[in-house]
Amino acid sequence: MAKNAVKNIAGWISLVISFLLLYVLFTTFSISIITLVEIILLIAFLYVVYTTILNNKFTTIFHKK
């Protein structure tokens, strides 16, 4: 189970990284402050999702509101 989970997470991370690279390539031609903020927010959101998947604390975050 653990090996499959690691493989799934690694595959998901590689998909995310490839998507981010494509997104950056498309936005480099029209870089503005807004697109930089979008990229930073996207990376932060993906980091939060990734850490919640690893720590399995998905329910506790919603209950802390």
Structure confidence at residue 33 (pLDDT): 64
- Whole-prediction pTM: 0.36
Structure confidence at residue 56 (pLDDT): 66
- The number of distinct structural domains making up the chain is 1
- For residue 35, give the nearest of 20, 47, 50 by alpha carbon: 20
Structure confidence at residue 26 (pLDDT): 72
What does the pLDDT profile of the chain (65 residues) look like in tens digits?
567 777 778 778 887 887 888 777 777 766 566 777 787 888 888 888 888 777 765 555 555 55
Task: Supply the range of the domain harboring residue 35.
Answer: 2-63
